[in-house]
Amino acid sequence: MSKILHITKDNFETEVIKSDKPVLLDFWASWCGPCKMVSPIVDQIANENSSIKVGKVNIDEESELAQTFRVMSIPTLVAVKDGKVINSTVGVQPKQNILKLLAE
């Protein structure tokens, strides 16, 4: 069972870039309705898949990371493997589509 990480600019390199597992990043904000719809799906993926890391990035608190990933709309989901972005998607997605992001 994975725990969901709160990703900040301070732990980004350790938890994402240097991760030995693929990482799913969920860029969100507390005022975002669609983010609230996708959040339980992301939580479920984290709890069911110990082979991946799941991190959430609050764009209001971590605007630098949002800019780095060129996040224009939320929710934005980004899959990172070996320190590189392998896939991303914007908007509410079904669980199967989110899992496909990680299957490079």
Q: Encode 58-82: b = buried (16+ Cβ within 10 Å), e = exposed.
A: bbeebeebbeebebeebbbbbbbee
Right CATH for 4-102 from 1.10.357.10, 3.30.420.40, 3.20.20.70, 3.40.30.10: 3.40.30.10
- Domain ranges in the chain are 4-102
Mind listing the pLDDT tens digit of every residue in the chain (104 residues)? Answer: 458 999 999 999 999 999 999 999 999 999 999 999 999 999 999 999 999 999 999 999 999 999 999 999 999 999 999 999 999 999 999 999 999 999 86
Residue pair 87/104 in contact by the 8 Å Cβ criterion = yes
CA dihedral (71, 37, 60, 23) positive or negative: negative
Q: Does the annotation mark 32 as catalytic? A: yes
| Among 4, 32, 92, 99, the one annotated catalytic | 32
Q: Count other C-beta atoms under 10 Å from residue 32's C-beta.
A: 17
| Among 23, 35, 52, 77, the one annotated catalytic | 35
Instruction: Please give the pLDDT value at position 3.
Output: 84
Instruction: Please give the pLDDT value at position 103.
Output: 85
Q: Does the annotation mark 35 as catalytic? A: yes
Model pTM score: 0.95
Residue pair 26/55 in contact by the 8 Å Cβ criterion = yes
Residue pair 75/38 in contact by the 8 Å Cβ criterion = yes
Q: How many angstroms separate the CA atoms of 42 and 37, rounded?
A: 10
DSSP per-residue string spanning 46-69:
HHH-TTSEEEEEETTT-HHHHHHT
